[in-house]
Amino acid sequence: MRRSMEWNQLVSNTRVPSFGTSKETLENVFSSDYRRVVKSDSFRRLQDKTQVFPLERNDFVRTRLTHSLEVAMHARDLLSAVIKGLGRKGIKISELDESFRLLETAALIHDIGNPPFGHFGEEAIRIWFIQNGSALPCWSVLTPQQQADFIHFEGNAQTIRLLTKIHDDNGASRHGMKLAASTMDAVIKYTANSIELDKTNLLTKKVGYFYSETKEYKLIKEATGSIGKRHPLVYILEAADDLAYTFSDIEDAYNYGFYSYNELVAFVKKTAEIDHLIKETETEAAEIQHFLREAQKKVYQSASAIFVENYAEIMQGNFDKELIIENCEEVKLFEALKAFAIDNIFSAKEILDQEVLGFNIMSRLLDELVPVVLKYEKEEMNQYEKRLFNNIPESAEKLFSKETRFCSEDKKDYYRLKMAVDFVCNMTDGYAKKLHDRLFS
């Protein structure tokens, strides 16, 4: 049997990187983390990054920012339900009582490394390197893992890179946000690097960290005592994320006019065979709000109960499922809503057209930027290339210098490619389109 993780290590005041023993209380550490995130430019950029509707200017449609705030709300409620459920079984964990702010902060940063244009932005980066990587003059010099970092690019791994390296607090920090290891570990959904992927395993189906952050990843995991395992709070955060995007996507699409309430009701009755949550009220809008609110409450109860029931397995690192898995009517309803979103929202022409636009913007930016950054400090750039490179911030050059300080020349191209990918990832939807139009239209 695997050794159980310990809460006094999972929820601690250790920061990464560490500068000696911290005397801060848990409350002060996690409150400080929360402030650092909220004040950061990376967090503010989420207000102009796609959740579902790219380049949308409708105030009623969620962005990554409003989505992250809702995930924080759901995570807090789920944690409260878990604490009560464990308490009924006689399990009292003081560190969990101290984890509300930790989990809220984790929710705010869980998407902070994602590129513009949502998951389609991630796919654009992957496809670009799949199609063009082997033609780059440096490609054969990269290790298989370094190549795979780009081919299997993942926003979750980029989040750890941003938090530990890219964020520089307008030049005031050389070590990222310097968050608590516990806060960062609560967003590490996957434990594999890019050459350890196994789609059949929950923990290794996607990239958890890049080659460039191997050291930082190990420091985080050693600090929390979760080496080779998921931090238990990740399960709560992931469930909160699923709750937030599933119900908000349905609501946003309704407000957008993608479907009628009657269409939703008919689909749910047919797919999940549930109708007792459907209640006739004065208006259709009120009916759908009631329906979504009641359905969400039911899924809350199921997810928190699954955590409590599988607590021992979770603490040993043996639980390889998500929390929203119970074979009950509320989860059947949840899955029906996901299926409805796929059929009626994500396949809508308005969204598909905008995703194609975002894909083309990302691809063109990489087309132009990658050859330029590969010349940085190695070959003379022409005037066009110099002007294009001037768009890359000085902080990126400083990070390149720091990361390649002890590298031989043939090992530096991996970090040159990182400059291009970091640059496009940091863009908002609007800035990416604006830069693309300004440079290439």
pLDDT of 62 > 90? The answer is no
Could you read off the pLDDT of 323-337 as tens digits, one per residue?
Answer: 998 788 778 888 888
Q: Stretch 2-16: mean pLDDT, rounded?
A: 92
CA distance 410 to 433: 34
Q: Stretch 48-58: mean pLDDT, rounded?
A: 63
CA distance 245 to 69: 11
CA distance 41 to 426: 10
Token pair of 139 as six digits? 């490609």
Nearest to 111 by CA among 72, 74, 146: 72
Domains in the chain with CATH codes: 7-224 (1.10.3210.10), 232-344 (1.10.3410.10), 349-440 (no CATH)
DSSP-assigned letters across all residues of 309-351: HTHHHHHHT---S-STT-SSHHHHHHHHHHHHHHHHTTT-HHH
Residue type (1 letter), 417: L
**Of the ranges 101-110, 173-182, 355-364, which is most confident?**
101-110
The pLDDT value given to residue 271: 81
Nearest to 341 by CA among 283, 433, 254: 254
Taking the model in full, what pTM does it have?
0.93
> Scanning the structure block, which residue is given the tokens 């208006």?
283
Could you read off the pLDDT of 352-394 as tens digits, one per residue?
Answer: 777 888 899 999 999 999 999 999 999 999 999 999 999 999 9
